[in-house]
Structure formats: C-alpha cells, structure tokens
Amino acid sequence: MPKYVIEREIPGAGNLTQQELHGISEKSCEVLQEMGPRIQWVESYVTEDKVYCVYIADNKQLIEEHAKKGDFPANQISEVKNIIDPTTSEA
C-alpha cells in the first residue's frame, strides 16, 4: 500500500495538552476502525501550528474520507515516492 504524509494546519497545535491529544487520537482510531484495514495510521509529528501525519492507505481518497469523518483538516496530502536516511549514502 502507498504511504502518505498529511499536513494538517492546526493553529496552536504545539500547545495541545496530553488530554486533548488523547481525544484527537481516540477519535482518529475510532474512524479508522470503522473504515477497515485499507487505511492505517503510522505516526504523527506535532509542531507549533501543524501536525504532520504518516498514513498507509490504498489511495488518497481514503485519507480524505478519514479527514472528513473525523473532522480533521487535511490541507496537503502527498504520496511518499521514496524514503532516504543516512544509510542511503552507503549504497
């Protein structure tokens, strides 16, 4: 399945409390359970005003559907075309 990076603009995201993050995570997981195994949340990175999420999904439309059902912004959805890390320089 393709991997996607989703940019979510959430002003003040870096100031969300652990309780608020728990609630967001819980809602996302509920929606994912309803949608079935064709979409999976890998992890998210919270910055000052944005959240960057990594998902694995059959297609971009599933990411959009998850955002709509969960009432999450999905300002930019980009399919990951390749992954590099420090070991890439060793090849």
Q: Are 59 and 77 in contact (CB under 8 A)?
A: no
Does the pLDDT value for residue 91 go beyond 80? no
Six-digit token string for 88: 């890439």
Domains of the chain in start order, with CATH, are 3-82 (3.30.70.3090)
Per-residue pLDDT of 20-54, as tens digits, reads 999 999 999 999 999 999 999 999 999 999 999 99
Q: What is the pTM of this model?
A: 0.92
Q: Are 4 and 80 in contact (CB under 8 A)?
A: yes
User: Phi and psi of 50, rounded to 5°?
Assistant: -145, 160
